[in-house]
Amino acid sequence: MAERVRLVFGHDGVATITLCHPPLNIYDLEMRDGLIEAISAVRDVPDVRCVVLAAEGKHFSVGADLSEFGTAESILDARRIRWDRDPWLLLLHLPVPTLCALHGYALGSGLEMSLLCDLRIASADTVLGLPEVKLGMLPAAGGTQSLTTAIGPAAALPLVLSGRNLDAVEAHRLGIVCEVVPPDDLNGRTAELASELARLDPLTARALRRCLRAANDLPLDHGLATERRWARLVASGSGG
């Protein structure tokens, strides 16, 4: 696995994927490949019940390595190269609950990868934002979609258009993160919450995640039908 990413399988069913390119954990091609390898490995291990995405160093991630855009003929070519092999859909479609632990700067692609997890917990020192608009760019990893899914268009629109940063308290108020904890408590609380998620019945956890996503993706009548179908599958003990 690439040096930028570390994967550890815990005995409690929790797999932890850690960004290992401090102090800024810049998202570059090497980190991308490491994330793809790690997420693919987690997906293929049936004993995993929860995945934690975390980071070493002072900051979670300040986003993409913009210097890499200069190696392509145009910024459009650079984006296309990234989109041809990105870890984002792999992360989004993992079959188990996903939890991201944020601290320091979580900007651009750093924030966007966290938005593809089910839950986000933040240290009180976390600063979040999608600053791409200030560079004349759209968010590189689906931020217009994932942020809107998380907090709705009315709240997402001013954040995306302005590119401004927000602190952990405002992120919690908006619903971007589910908890804010003191910096010294982040690792312990993350481990505690991950263990709780890992103890869920796998089929029930899968059903709940599918139903909650259906609420965003489908009209209400289709969402209700999805809920009924999964309720029957859980009651019968079959995976569907």
Q: What is the DSSP letter of 53?
A: E
Q: Of these residues, 132, 179, 192, 227, which one is catalytic? A: 132
Go through the chain and tell me how many residues it has.
240
Q: What string of DSSP letters covers 74-137? A: SHHHHHHHHHHT-SHHHHHT-SS-EEEEE-SEEETHHHHHHHTSSEEEEETT-EEE-GGGGGT-
For 7, 89, 134, 197, the CA distances from 20, given in Å and listed in that order, are 10, 21, 27, 24
**SS3 at position 145:** helix
Mark whether 68 is an active-site residue: no
Distance CA 28, CA 238 (A): 41
Residue type, 139: P
Please tell me the distance from the alpha carbon of residue 10 to that of residue 115, in angstroms, as a whole number. 23
Kindly calculate the radius of gyration of the chain based on its CA atoms and give it in whole angstroms: 18
**Identity of residue 164:** R
Catalytic (active site) residue 179: no
Tell me which of 30, 68, 112, 227 is the catalytic residue: 112
Enzyme catalytic residues? 112, 132
